[in-house]
Amino acid sequence: MRLTAEPAFVLHTRPWRESSLLVEVLSAEHGRLGLVARGVQGAKRQVLRAALQPLQHIRFDAVQRGELATLSAAEALDAAPRLLGDAMLAGFYLNELTMRLASRGDPQPDLFIAYAATRQRLGESDPLAWTLRRYERDLLDAIGFGFDWGLDGEGAPIDPAARYRLDPEFGPRRLLADRGHGDRRNAATGRALLALAEDVLPSDEDLASLRRPMREVLAFHLGPRGLKSWEMLGELARMSAGD
């Protein structure tokens, strides 16, 4: 199969053999693809190498035979966002999560649109946590594991005053009022779920309540191997606690 002028976002690159790269991209028409970029380490290929940086929006030509496609040309379509600190880590998380959960060769135009919007938001004024929770929601929807965020698993409307655990297979489960503090800490507020349903920024407290439940859902679909970005976040938290 020949791919011509295919728009994509670069998710990850790594060296391959002496002078080549293995590149993972999220393409507009063909979903996640693995590309082999041959001979890109020389000085004459600097422009191509620069276009293959993570988060870069590109247009590429390639020929696919088997699992990997051989890249013949690529050009940057814009300047990749310059991210620092927490935003840079959020970009790493965005790419790693997409690589792990988006299947290769499965066209997912909604996911491509969601990724493009999230990439843009990383450098804007919205809280990073809200940007990432929205992308997690959209990714789960795109790969077929999302919920109707305005209803619980039994089809009842979400109560903004209640708390809910997110069952990966059932959906939101209302937490009983007499459950302990530990259960409440791992539960999202109803207000937060409704904010996801309506795509409206919640309060800081409600936004914070989404982190653990969403991670539990993602961990279920990721399987026993977690994300390196989660390990990095844990390490940073331990270092900060020791200061």
Give the confidence band of 19 by pLDDT, cuts at 50, 70, 90.
confident
Question: Which residue intervals of the chain are DSSP H helices?
Answer: 46-51, 85-101, 109-121, 128-142, 181-185, 190-198, 204-208, 211-222, 228-242
Residue in 164, 166, 201 with CA at minimum distance from that of residue 179: 164
Tell if the pTM clears 0.85, that is, is over it: yes
Residue type, 44: K
Span 90-135, pLDDT tens digits: 999 999 999 999 999 999 999 999 999 999 999 887 899 999 999 9
| Pairwise CA distance, residues 49 & 103, whole Å | 25
Residue 114 C-beta-side C-alpha neighbours within 13 Å: 23
For the chain, domains (ranges, CATH) are: 2-76 (2.40.50.140), 85-242 (1.20.1440.120)
